[in-house]
Amino acid sequence: QCSLTGQWINDLGSTMKILNVNGNGDFSGTYLTAVTATSNEIKESPLQGSLQRKNQKGQPTFGFTVNWTFSDSITVFTGQCFVDKNGKEVLKTMWLLRSRVDTIENDWKATRVGINVFTRVPLQ
């Protein structure tokens, strides 16, 4: 059984905390990125998401949005929570980051795409 609730760290060192998932699959939390394309001071940012509750097989799909508090950008993540053969929980995700641009002619450079793998951080 894979649970999103808790603390996670990804392959780049970014951390997130996911609070309780409610009965509808909705959840919230915080995200602290370790990487950014801006020179602004990095700050913890809120996330809002949804877990697919129809999957009763224990490795659910999910999505969440991070509304960056320190830039004019927003990122959406989608992924699946897996339990590997050693019983370790892993979140495999793909993301789209949308940055604000000044003109429609610059739209071509406004969206970035990537992948991240998150592993659970034990609570201290």
pTM for this entry: 0.88
Q: How many CB atoms lie within 10 A of CB 62?
A: 22
Domains of the chain, earliest start first: 6-120 (2.40.128.30)
Contact present, 6 and 18 (Cβ < 8 Å): yes
- Indicate the burial class of 25 (C-beta count within 10 angstroms; 0-12, 13-18, 19 or more): middle
- One pLDDT digit (tens) per residue for the chain, 124 residues: 788 999 999 999 999 999 989 989 999 999 998 876 667 677 899 999 999 876 667 788 999 999 999 888 999 999 999 988 898 999 999 999 999 999 999 999 999 999 999 999 987 5
